[in-house]
Amino acid sequence: MAGDENSRTAGSPVPDGAWVAAAYRRTMSSGRALLAEMVGGQVEVESSGAWITTSDGHRYLNAGGYGVFITGARHPGVVREVERQLHRHPVGSRVFLDPVAARAAALLASVTPPALDRVHFCGSGAEAVETAIKLARLNGRRHLVAMTGGYHGKTLGALSITERETLRAPFRPLLPDVTHVPYGDVPALSAALARRPGEACVIVEPVQGEAGVVIPPPGYLGAVRRTCSHHGALLVVDEIQTGLGRLGTWWGVDPEGVCPDILLTGKSLGGAVIPVSAAVATHEVYAPLDRDPFLHTSTFSAAPITMAAVCGSITTIRDEGLVARAAHLGALVTAGLTGIARERLAHHAHEVRGAGLLIGVEFTDPALAADLFIALVGNDVVTNLCLGSDSVVRLSPPATMSEQDVDFLLERFDKASRQVAAHHPSYQEGSHAKR
Ligand SMILES: Cc1ncc(COP(=O)(O)O)c(C=O)c1O
């Protein structure tokens, strides 16, 4: 689907953008309304595959979506499952057993590393993190070791291991007994664990998405696994952003054959139709929740409608070969963006880096990242800025993109890059260049 269909109008009734913004200001968040105004104040009303339609009928390629859209929007394989469940039995009694939950858990366990066979479903990524923290405590690991730059969500437990101080400061006191060690630094991790043998739980991302697509050195995850085992620490790998094909493998742990004690997934798990996340654990670690099903529950956990989305998402990713396609498209897009950045932003962009379809364009100056983000929207492409880094524009487009979508993305990135370079001619002097 090419983006030259921007003349097409969305279905009616067409919401009035000014009314929507005013309602946001009145009832939700004036800050949120202000941010939307900075990129044109558009109101989105429809989505399909890699494309979003706004109320004026304009179409945008969604190369952002915070890592949610590996299957694209409204993938028929997901919608079919959810629609069927919606008309049959969307929310369960929680007294009887539910076949859709049983199928979803079995499907998820079938694609995670073999030893991870116990599944707890939650709603948000942060809730999956909370589950991991509680499982760690239930297993006698009360000291949490997380990574600098790490992002794990904003509930109080998750925030305690998320590293960005501006997000943490207003909410202190957070959980006690948390240490942060530099991401990628195995000796530092080992030293931290040596101080708390048998008492620690380590939480790590295979690639740090919110930190600005930070890729650790080769062999890092394997070394983290060995270090945890050596010191009797539990290993939690947070794959909420990186999992389900995003990196061009089912999981970020796969290339190094690492099996964590707990793996966290979310975002793409609901097929971009229903929000859902999960903690998947070994049966040893999960044993306390296995024995007592009321110890850690939530009313809507594993609701049948949500479970249908999980079934639709996993079968779609599996049956349509989206993991391999993410690897293929990721290589294509990263090479394309690298070439364009080299040509158009030689003195502005520091680096283009990516793993599969999680790609970051890092700038020497945060203002340039913000400008590129805005220029891309102006050229009909949506990307994301990062919660943990101001200088990186992040792309996480769907693995269902067509070759034409990729051409469109690169063509518009080229245009936006030329605009950013023209807005910042002072950087042409090379005084800010790092390469
Ligand atoms: C690695 C990681 N963990 C946890 C979370 C939190 O997920 P949620 O925003 O669904 O609570 C995120 C969200 O961006 C994430 O990227």
> Ligand 1 center to residue 238 CA distance, Å?
9
Residues 6+ apart with CB under 8 A from 321: none
Domain assignment present for 434: no
> Ligand 1 center to residue 420 CA distance, Å?
30
Q: What are phi and psi of 255, to 5 degrees?
A: -55, -30
Please tell me whether residues 298 and 214 are part of one structural domain.
yes
Amino acid at 156: L
354 beta partners: 359
Domain boundary pick from 295, 319, 343? 319
Neighbours of 77 (CB within 10 A): 18
Domain boundary pick from 319, 337, 363? 319
Please give the number of the atom of ligand 1 that sits closest to the Cα of 150: 1
Average pLDDT over residues 45-59: 97
Confidence of residue 10 (pLDDT cuts 50, 70, 90): very low
> Ligand 1 center to residue 138 CA distance, Å?
23
Please tell me whether residues 60 and 124 are part of one structural domain.
no
Neighbours of 60 (CB within 10 A): 23
At 329-376, the pLDDT tens digits run: 999 999 999 999 999 999 888 899 999 999 999 998 999 999 999 999
Q: Is 302 left (phi over 0), alpha (psi -120 to 50) or beta?
A: left
Domain boundary pick from 278, 293, 319? 319
Any ligand 1 atom below 6 A from CB of 371 = no
Domain assignment present for 66: yes
| Token pair listed for 81 | 């499952």
Q: Which pLDDT value is given to residue 350? A: 83
CA angle 247, 211, 376 (to 5 degrees): 75
Please give the number of the atom of ligand 1 that sits closest to the Cα of 242: 1
Please tell me whether residues 162 and 141 are part of one structural domain.
yes
Please tell me whether residues 345 and 234 are part of one structural domain.
no
Domain assignment present for 80: no
Range from 13-17, 225-229, 407-411, 430-434 carrying the lowest mean pLDDT: 430-434
Per-chain mean pLDDT for the chain? 94
> Ligand 1 center to residue 152 CA distance, Å?
5
Q: Which residue has the CA at smallest separation from atom 4 of ligand 1?
A: 152
Q: Which pLDDT value is given to residue 1? A: 37
Q: Which residue has the CA at smallest separation from atom 7 of ligand 1?
A: 125
Q: Is the pLDDT of residue 432 over 50?
A: no
- Percent above pLDDT 70 for the chain: 95
Q: Which pLDDT value is given to residue 4? A: 41
Element (H, E) at 200: strand 200-204
Q: Which pLDDT value is given to residue 256? A: 97
Q: Which pLDDT value is given to residue 391? A: 96
Q: Is the pLDDT of residue 383 over 70?
A: yes
Q: Which pLDDT value is given to residue 9? A: 39
Please tell me whether residues 93 and 193 are part of one structural domain.
yes
Average pLDDT over residues 191-217: 98
Please tell me whether residues 401 and 416 are part of one structural domain.
yes
* Distance of alpha carbon 155 from alpha carbon 201, whole angstroms: 18
| Token pair listed for 232 | 């009797």
Q: Which pLDDT value is given to residue 2? A: 38
Any ligand 1 atom below 6 A from CB of 252 = no
Please tell me whether residues 108 and 166 are part of one structural domain.
yes
Pick the closest to residue 204 from 260, 250, 160 (CA basis). 260
Residues 6+ apart with CB under 8 A from 378: 39, 40, 416, 419
Please tell me whether residues 59 and 203 are part of one structural domain.
no
* Distance of alpha carbon 119 from alpha carbon 109, whole angstroms: 7
Which CATH number do you get for residue 56? 3.90.1150.10
Domain assignment present for 84: no
How many domains is the chain partitioned into structurally? 2
At 69-124, the pLDDT tens digits run: 999 999 999 999 999 999 999 999 999 999 999 999 999 999 999 999 999 999 99
Domain assignment present for 261: yes
* Distance of alpha carbon 101 from alpha carbon 303, whole angstroms: 7
| Token pair listed for 103 | 């199928």
Q: Is the pLDDT of residue 171 over 60?
A: yes
Q: Which pLDDT value is given to residue 434? A: 39
**pTM as predicted:** 0.95
At 282-292, the pLDDT tens digits run: 999 999 999 99
Q: Which pLDDT value is given to residue 15? A: 75
Q: Is the pLDDT of residue 185 over 90?
A: yes
Residue 153 vs residues 79, 158, 273, 412: alpha-carbon distances, Å: 27, 5, 20, 32
> Ligand 1 center to residue 361 CA distance, Å?
20
> Ligand 1 center to residue 236 CA distance, Å?
14
- Which domain does 396 fall in, by range? 3-40+49-73+322-429
Which CATH number do you get for residue 189? 3.40.640.10
Domain assignment present for 388: yes
Average pLDDT over residues 378-397: 96
Average pLDDT over residues 276-303: 97
Pick the closest to residue 280 from 298, 262, 266, 296 (CA basis). 262
Please give the number of the atom of ligand 1 that sits closest to the Cα of 208: 1
Q: Answer whether 115's CB lies under 8 Å from 282's CB.
A: yes
Q: Which pLDDT value is given to residue 261? A: 98
At 139-170, the pLDDT tens digits run: 999 999 999 999 999 999 999 999 999 999 99
Dihedral angle computed from the Cα positions of residues 159, 164, 167 and 171, in that order, rounded to the nearest 10 degrees: 50
Buried b / exposed e across 289-303, counting CB within 10 Å, b at 16+? Answer: beeeeeebeeeebbb
Q: Answer whether 227's CB lies under 8 Å from 186's CB.
A: yes
Domain assignment present for 187: yes
